[in-house]
Amino acid sequence: MYVPANPSTTYAGTLLDEIDRRWNGLCAANSTYFDGRLCHVLGVHRNGHGGCVLHIIDCAYRFFAVQAAAPPQEGFDLGVRPLGVKGVIERDGQFLMGRRSKRVAMYADTWEFAPSGSVDFGRPPHEVIAHELREETGLACASEPTAIAVLFDPILRCWEIVYRLSIAADAQPRVTAEYPQVEWFARDSLPADLSPVARQIAELLRNSGKPEAI
């Protein structure tokens, strides 16, 4: 018998049975769900000088998906802390942002710094963000992505490596299935409906003045 954090609710069967039941429900409601392999962060250890070490292991995506989809008051926390990547692109004092599709699993219809993605186990995070840039905006990195911050999303309970990305001066983004709307915004006039990590990045930009200083 699985007993969640809320003792007034119980589920018949084993925890894995309950996970499978919830996963099948998510897949039936949204065909974009796919049970890939993600990086589960066991710990983040900062060195006090701007660097940190992340300890990760392999984990199935479905465990995170059912955890994230559960109502907060239910306390259905499997302890999964995925690793994601975010990109920050600045041009002439403006930052590239995308409004997430209404069909995505997390933070639908909110704005975020584009691009973003989750890290598949075994793939270097800097390669993942470069791939997401091409896939989600049609742009290409003009140089190697530079990690500038590691942030924690308190809602989805995941870690995000934030990269500064550079693109060709005349390159223009395109809309995609992930971002049906992409626009450039000045630091002081960002959209109000930002995702939680986008709000953290915006605060860092306001405090530092430049993405290089995050």
Give me the domains of the chain, ranges plus CATH numbers: 39-58+79-213 (3.90.79.10)
CA distance 201 to 161: 11
**HEC states along 91-156?**
ECCEEEEEECCCCCCCCCCCEEECCEEECECCCCHHHHHHHHHHHHHCCCCCCCCEEEEEEEECCC
Question: What is this structure's pTM?
Answer: 0.87
**141-145 contact pairs (CB < 8 A, 24+):** 141/165, 141/166, 141/167, 142/166, 142/167, 142/168, 145/87
Residue for token digits 């995308």? 98
Dihedral sign of CA atoms 117, 121, 124, 127 in order: negative
How far is CA 183 from each of CA 91, 97, 179, 190, 214, rounded to the nearest angstrom?
Answer: 12, 6, 10, 10, 22
Tokens in use for 90?
């600045």
**Cβ-contact 114, 137 below 8 angstroms:** yes
Can you give the pLDDT of all 214 residues of the chain as single tens digits?
344 444 334 455 689 999 999 999 999 998 889 999 999 999 999 998 888 999 999 999 999 999 999 998 998 999 999 999 999 999 999 999 999 999 888 899 999 999 999 999 999 999 999 999 999 999 999 999 999 999 999 999 999 999 999 999 999 999 999 999 999 999 999 999 999 999 999 999 988 755 544 4
Q: Kind and range of the H or E element at 64?
A: helix 61-69
Predicted pLDDT of residue 50: 82
CA distance 195 to 116: 12
